[in-house]
A and B are shown apart, each in its own frame.
Chain A
Amino acid sequence: MSDVAERVKKIVVEHLGVEESKVTEDASFIDDLGADSLDTVELVMAFEEEFGCEIPDDAAEKIVTVKDAINFIQENT
């Protein structure tokens, strides 16, 4: 598992208060991890802070699963 993937999963676990085993790469924040729409906004803010990148609104809307987040960050940092 890459460093980015681990850091992303750590943020998701901390923010959503879910068990680490549930945070698989295919897990959808809203459908599988119980996030609401405001949680997804906050997750994006947390990713931006952790990785020092800016995630524009149109890109943020496409980040649905854990893998989507990892891919975006790997491609843009």
Chain B
Amino acid sequence: MFDLTGRVALVTGASGGIGGAIARALHQRGAKVALSGTRREALDSLAAEMGEGTAVLPCALDDAKAVAALPGQVSEALGGFDILVNNAGLTRDNLAMRMKDEDWDQVMAVNLTAAFRLSRAALKPLMKNRWGRIIGITSIVGVTGNPGQTNYAASKAGMIGFSKSLAGEVATRGITVNCVAPGFIETAMTDVLNDEQKERMLASIPAGRLGSPQDVAAACVYLASDEAGYMTGQTLHVNGGMAMI
């Protein structure tokens, strides 16, 4: 089950905690994996650690031209293109009343617009293959909302609506489009929360622990597999029971 041998995947934001875990997990299941992100050194060391069947393709996701060219670079480097994981994302938290336009715009540009552009560019090879997987890493807050994260929550909710719509467009071509919505996962992004915030979050997680990047990666392996071929337009919530949707 869940064998990805012969598949080629692209993971954006692979230099981050969740992105790195997704890349490793897909690779362990046999896929070749292209690692994209902005921090070249982190990507290089991840690729070195993973070994054969990897490619490092740094890309600034707010650069439309670079994004459009990325799927072609993946095919060139690894000989195909089957699985896209739109994982890259950033936060610029603030109360809505204090939020600057650029904080709103940047979060939308990287979290949502880049995911759309990259999916659009990836669809050509996926349609030709008559097989494809597009996986968006959204967030629990895209469904539940979270004070202080109007921009981030809107971008993640947007990704869910985008994925459902695209899933309907391409379902007849063997392409599935799904989301994974992590809850509170131990990463650099959640490290910035103070102890009081963390404790409050923990109290609301029935599983009694934070999630790990591997918990999220396992959901991606499933969605990327042949076995998940009948699963499309869905959001898998990986949150320890923090929100049951």
Contact = CB atoms under 8 A, between A and B. Distances in A.
A42 B127 CA distance: 8
Nearest to A37: B169
Nearest to B127: A42
A38 B128 contact: no
Q: How large is the interface on B (under 10, 10 to 19, 20 to 34, 35 or more residues)?
A: under 10
A21 to B, nearest CB: 26
Interface in B126-165: 127-128
A45 interface: yes
Contacts of B169: 38
A38 B124 contact: no
A42 B170 CA distance: 11
B124 A45 contact: yes
Contact of A45 (B127, B170, B172): B127
A41 B172 CA distance: 14
A39 B133 CA distance: 19
A41 B128 CA distance: 11
B100 interface: no
Nearest to B172: A38
B173 interface: yes
Interface of A: 38, 41-42, 45
Interface of B: 124, 127-128, 169-170, 172-173
